[in-house]
Amino acid sequence: MRSLNVYQAGHQIGTLYDEQPLRFVYDTHWLATPAAQAIAPAFPLQAEPFAGGHVHAFFENLLPEGPVRRLLQASHHASTTFGLLRSVAGDTAGSLILLPPGELPKPPAYHITSWQHIAEQLRQGKAPTLGAQIQDDMRVSLAGAQAKILLTVLDDGRPAIPVGTAPSSHILKPDIQGIPGVWASALNETLAMQLADNLGLGTATAVYQADTRACLIRRYDRQTDAHGGLTRLHQLDLCQLAGVPSGLKYESDGGPSLAQCRYLLQEIGVPAKDLKRLLQWVIFNLLIGNHDSHAKNLSVLATPSGWQLAPFYDLMCTTVYPGLSRQFAFRIGGTNQPGQIGSSQIQAMASVLGMSPHYALGLARDIAHALPPALDKTIKALQTIVYPGTEHTLLERLAQRIKQETRKHGQRWGL
Ligand SMILES: Nc1ncnc2c1ncn2[C@@H]1O[C@H](COP(=O)(O)OP(=O)(O)OP(=O)(O)O)[C@@H](O)[C@H]1O
Ligand SMILES: [Mg+2]
């Protein structure tokens, strides 16, 4: 029976067995350790094994999706969730490392490279498998359908690619390729992330990396320890928390609704302020025209004071690209058509999230009023670092589009 050893912070905490369905069992030594913590609420600390759809969903959600997964399947001759995890799950979202028996997590090692080299590789189309084509002894896995590279940024600013099970500290997201009509998405994402940050929404730190023309995002699930090394914090995305595979990340496909997200967040014990943040996230996504805000774009992070809604990530104005979906990822007050979301839908969402309609509309008003000046400030700063031409054009289009979305929604909501 093939198996994978599951490690966390250098300890083997369990084993995943390649059975139908997948089976996970905690390590007995780990169970006896005071530091032992459940990897998710669905898997409480116990000696009995877990098997079934929720085990599959938990681990499948660690893998890339769509075209990136298909490339990994082809390059590793691994078509199953187990086979892919075996090949790539050395550095994942959160704290877990999966390795075949006989292999142990090694002291972190990195291949130092340069931004210019990565830029050249990107020009040659060599980014889709998280950087494995730049460095072939990488073993990294991160969810999402977009091509990205996991790396670490050294103190002197140079990038370094993790080798084996070494942790990455940053995610580099180049422009999305292969979706007709989508261009300069990395700059779009940088703008949306910085705008959310300027509005004080609690966002992962993102900058526009000038050489690669890509969005460089600091991982909030990595922390520098006293010796300058990186430690991993545990995190779960809302599909993992709901026990559904990544294919169900959209509510319209049967994935979690906002009501379920609220329930899951409360059940795991996030502080009350995080429900406010959830509402702010929905409002912000509507106001900037980000329709791709599905359940895998929300995560909870394990902190010393307990589970918290993680900083926001994967924000972008999708409506600036005519080919992308016109439907919002969640239903708000019964509709996923943004043009049909009025103040009564916002009020319905408020009660779904356990808030007074008055309070929710007040939060929406605050963001809608603060957004245009924050947008101007964010765009002005980006204009100083981007090239004239395409990138400037995108910033101008985004300025118009986001202000228009904000104005129209503000009117519909009676702000
Ligand atoms: N700053 C961050 N720190 C830690 N983990 C992150 C961060 N940003 C993203 N992640 C994790 O990586 C996953 C993929 O990131 P992201 O959502 O940006 O990719 P994507 O390919 O654009 O996704 P999608 O398929 O939604 O378009 C997320 O689901 C989350 O688990
Ligand atoms: Mg995403």
Per-residue pLDDT, 139: 85
Task: State what percent of residues in the chain have pLDDT above 70.
Answer: 98
82 vs 384: CA distance, rounded Å: 46
Residue 298 clears pLDDT 90, i.e. is over it: yes
Nearest to 50 by CA among 60, 62, 42: 42
Closest ligand (CA of 239)? 1
- Does one domain contain both 15 and 159? no
* Total H helices, total E strands in the chain: 12, 16
Average pLDDT of span 203-213: 97
* Residue 229 located in a structural domain: no
- Does one domain contain both 247 and 366? yes
Residue 131 clears pLDDT 90, i.e. is over it: no
Nearest to 322 by CA among 182, 185, 193: 182
- Does one domain contain both 307 and 328? yes
* Residue 372 located in a structural domain: yes
- Cα of 272 vs centre of ligand 2, distance in Å, is 24
Confidence of residue 1 (pLDDT cuts 50, 70, 90): confident
- Does one domain contain both 201 and 266? no
What's the domain range around 60? 3-99
Residue 127 clears pLDDT 70, i.e. is over it: no
- Does one domain contain both 397 and 259? yes
Query: Is 231 in contact with 221 (CB distance < 8 Å)?
Result: no
Q: Of 194, 223, 252, which residue is a domain's last? A: 223
69 vs 286: CA distance, rounded Å: 29
Taking the complete model, does pTM exceed 0.75, yes or no?
Answer: yes
pLDDT tens digit sequence for 391-400: 999 999 999 9
- Does one domain contain both 388 and 302? yes
Residue 390 clears pLDDT 90, i.e. is over it: yes
Residue 128 clears pLDDT 90, i.e. is over it: no
Average pLDDT of span 213-221: 98
pLDDT tens digit sequence for 44-90: 999 999 999 999 999 999 999 998 899 889 888 999 999 999 999 99
- Does one domain contain both 274 and 400? yes
* Residue 104 located in a structural domain: no
Cβ–ligand 1 distance for 296 under 6 Å, the answer yes
pLDDT tens digit sequence for 82-126: 999 999 999 999 999 999 999 999 999 999 999 999 999 898 887
- Does one domain contain both 262 and 194? no
- Better-scored residue on pLDDT, 130 or 160: 160
Per-residue pLDDT, 150: 93
Residue 137 clears pLDDT 80, i.e. is over it: no
Query: Is 132 in contact with 140 (CB distance < 8 Å)?
Result: yes
Half-sphere exposure of 212 (CA within 13 A, CB side): 29
* Residue 345 located in a structural domain: yes
**Which atom, in ligand 1's list, is nearest to the CA of 220?**
3
* Residue 155 located in a structural domain: yes
Per-residue pLDDT, 125: 81
* Residue 228 located in a structural domain: no
Length of the chain: 415
CATH no. for residue 332?
A: 1.10.1070
- Does one domain contain both 184 and 303? no
Q: Which of 297, 312, 321, 330 to mutate to test the pocket of ligand 1 (most atoms within 8 A of CB)?
A: 297
* Residue 218 located in a structural domain: yes
Per-residue pLDDT, 228: 87
* Residue 264 located in a structural domain: yes
**Into how many domains does the chain fold?**
3
Annotated catalytic sites, by residue? 292
